[in-house]
């Protein structure tokens, strides 16, 4: 019985060797082994007189030469014209710098095309829909597939790849929800811990206020609180372990499917595509409704009644008090959790312990950063909120109040938060096109595609003067990277500036142009190459945008009358790699 499709098959005289080999899995294993072998090899010095050469210690990106420590001191001293050269760690592959890609291409291009199992001299060219297997032309003319429904191998390969990709999207969405759910559960653990400690403290205070007769009863009551907390923690940990196991299984399946999709062997892919699609669909169905909801709450339904007479002390126990519903009390701001980052502020609050009035939600209000009127920025049940897109170098006042069916409670104390003077940002992986590749803590960007793709920065600007620079690490085959600003809903699958949501300068190796709404203006001499620096100056006080290449201004201010909220933006393809230089405050 096949472990993938679960169909039974009869063995001929060849035994198990009569079955088709899983070439797709073999190719993945071979590619993995080749990658490990290449990574294990050490790069050698290219100037050594010794035999064999010493292992390389550095790579000069300008000279494109590998040096050992001794040859670097002798042939490439850090002075004179070499002082400005950039030295990097040597590559893991033993070939010359930049040779790894060609080697990988050569290895992939040298793969032998699979031949038919029944006709050794024929390659697979068609796909039998009835038997769900690739076949050759001779199978169609002579074999058992002559009267079957057949289709082009390439067409069925693309169709099944599309089905698998579509199914993977569903699993990916569920995995994302599961990660968010795990964060929610871990926050729930912290809330349970905090609430449990609050209840214990209140219980101890009440019991210590009673006479000696209450001492014996105090231990029993503390035990009940502890058991309740441990029960809740156990339930939540069980959910975390169960959800983590499901997530690990889904993630492993996703990683295997992504490796399968990378393969260029249609026949090998189609051998296992049906089974993989079913496995992915089954994996998606395991996230049933309610699986991503906590089974317990962080609240403790425990209330201590301290009013009975002393003769009833031995009957003292927790009861569920019924209070008349009134407006909620004042929320308590958790100042240790309130913070700012760039032009974002985060606020946290909680209700006071032993608050009996129910809370249906909270209203968070913020002023305009200039002492103006308060406005509502959040209404909901969460007790932690982050507000993005505020003004830099501004002081904001914030307050919160709770509400329920009886009305709105009083405001909390006002907290004052100061946003950053200077914007510190990186490239944003969450909003970037899927072909964008980020590294170096999201400060370096390149692309997997030959088409232009867009990535945004993590900061948003609405007023003030802002300047940032990008260093061109790699520039091959004269591409046209574009640098500028954009709104959050800019198109990510085309060059920056082709729609009405972006303002950019695109540049080749000789000249640059300004572009907005696919309109090209202000052609200026001066291009980029490897090692160039591109500067962007956004002046929202004067409402204009200016560009620089290696410190030289590219024409007059590129665009006038710019107003709104903008994010740093960049478009590039696989021939370009840039990294973001830390911004500096402007005088």
Span 446-482, pLDDT tens digits: 999 999 999 999 888 887 888 999 999 999 998 999 9
pTM given for the model = 0.40
DSSP secondary structure, 363-424, as one string? EEEE--SSS---EEEEEES-SEEEE-S--TT-EEEEEEEEEETTEE------EEEE--SS--
List the structure tokens of 220. Answer: 């029993």
Mean pLDDT across 312-317 = 64
Residues 547 and 534 sit within 8 Å (Cβ to Cβ): yes
Average pLDDT over all residues of the chain: 83
Residue 376 predicted with pLDDT over 90: yes
In this predicted model, which residue has the larger pLDDT, 309 or 410?
Answer: 410
Q: How many residues are recorded in the chain?
A: 587
Q: Are strands 576-581 and 465-475 parallel, antiparallel or unpaired?
A: antiparallel
3-class DSSP state for residue 521?
strand
| DSSP H helical ranges for 478-578 | none
61-70 pLDDT, tens digit each: 888 889 998 8
Exposure b/e, 401-440, CB count within 10 A at least 16 = b: bbbbeeeebeebeebebebbebbebbbbeebbbebbbbee
Q: Say what percent of the chain tops pLDDT 90.
A: 30
On the question of pLDDT at 101 being above 50, the answer is no
Q: What percent of the chain has pLDDT over 70?
A: 88
Cis amide prior to 52 (ω within 30 degrees): yes
Mean per-residue pLDDT, 27-46: 75
Residues 318 and 219: their CA atoms lie apart, in Å, by: 13
Span 516-527, average pLDDT: 89
CA distances from 110 to 99, 103, 104, 107, 139 (A): 17, 11, 10, 5, 26
């Amino acid at each position: 019985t096949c472990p993938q499709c679960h169909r039974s098959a009869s063995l001929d005289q060849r035994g198990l060797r009569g079955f088709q080999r899983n070439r797709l899995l073999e190719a993945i294993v071979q590619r993995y082994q080749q990658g490990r072998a290449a990574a294990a090899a050490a790069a050698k010095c290219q100037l050594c007189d010794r035999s064999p050469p010493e292992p390389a210690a550095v790579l000069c990106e300008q000279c494109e030469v590998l040096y050992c420590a001794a040859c670097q001191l002798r042939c490439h001293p850090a002075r004179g014209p070499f002082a400005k050269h950039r030295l990097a760690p040597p590559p893991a592959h033993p070939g010359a710098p930049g040779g790894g890609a060609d080697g990988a291409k050569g290895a992939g291009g040298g793969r032998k095309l699979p031949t038919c199992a029944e006709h050794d001299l024929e390659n697979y060219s068609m796909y039998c829909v009835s038997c769900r297997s690739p076949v050759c032309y001779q199978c169609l003319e002579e074999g058992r597939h002559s009267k079957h429904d057949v289709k082009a191998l390439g067409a069925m390969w693309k169709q099944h790849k599309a089905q698998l990709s579509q199914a993977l999207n569903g699993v990916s969405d569920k995995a994302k929800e599961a990660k968010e759910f795990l964060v929610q559960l871990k926050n729930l653990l912290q809330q349970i811990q905090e609430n449990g400690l609050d209840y214990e403290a209140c219980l101890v205070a009440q019991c210590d206020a009673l006479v000696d007769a209450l001492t014996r009863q105090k231990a029993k009551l503390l035990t009940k609180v502890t058991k309740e907390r441990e029960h809740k923690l156990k339930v939540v940990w069980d959910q975390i372990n169960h959800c983590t196991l499901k997530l690990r299984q889904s993630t492993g399946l996703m990683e295997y499917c992504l490796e399968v999709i990378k393969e260029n062997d249609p026949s090998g892919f189609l051998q296992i595509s049906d089974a993989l699609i079913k496995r992915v669909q089954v994996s998606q169905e395991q996230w049933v409704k309610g699986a991503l909801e906590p089974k317990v709450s962080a609240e403790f339904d425990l209330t201590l009644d301290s009013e009975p007479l002393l003769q009833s002390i031995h009957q003292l126990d927790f009861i569920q008090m019924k209070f008349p519903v009134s407006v909620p009390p004042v929320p308590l701001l958790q100042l240790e959790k309130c913070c700012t980052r760039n032009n974002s502020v985060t606020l946290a609050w909680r209700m006071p312990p032993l608050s009996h009035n129910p809370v249906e939600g909270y209203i968070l209000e913020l002023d305009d950063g200039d002492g103006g009127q308060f406005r509502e920025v959040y209404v909901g049940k969460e007790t932690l909120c982050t507000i993005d897109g505020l003004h830099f170098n501004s002081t904001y006042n914030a307050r919160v109040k709770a509400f329920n069916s009886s009305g709105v409670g009083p405001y909390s104390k006002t907290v004052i938060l100061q946003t950053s003077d200077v914007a510190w940002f990186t490239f944003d992986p969450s909003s970037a096109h899927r072909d964008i590749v980020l590294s170096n803590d999201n400060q370096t960007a390149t692309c997997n595609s030959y088409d232009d793709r867009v990535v945004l920065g993590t900061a948003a600007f609405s007023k003030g003067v802002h300047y940032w620079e990008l260093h061109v690490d790699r520039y091959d085959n004269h591409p046209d990277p574009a640098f500028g600003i954009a709104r959050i809903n800019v198109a990510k699958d085309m060059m920056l500036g082709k729609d009405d949501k972006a303002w950019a300068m695109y540049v080749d190796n000789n000249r640059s142009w300004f572009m907005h709404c696919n309109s090209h203006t202000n052609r200026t001499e001066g291009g980029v190459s490897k090692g160039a620096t591109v500067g962007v100056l956004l002046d929202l006080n004067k409402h204009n945008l200016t560009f620089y290449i290696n410190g030289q201004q590219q024409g007059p201010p590129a665009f006038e009358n710019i107003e709104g909220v903008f994010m740093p933006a960049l478009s590039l393809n696989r021939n370009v790699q840039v990294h973001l230089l830390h911004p500096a405050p402007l005088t």
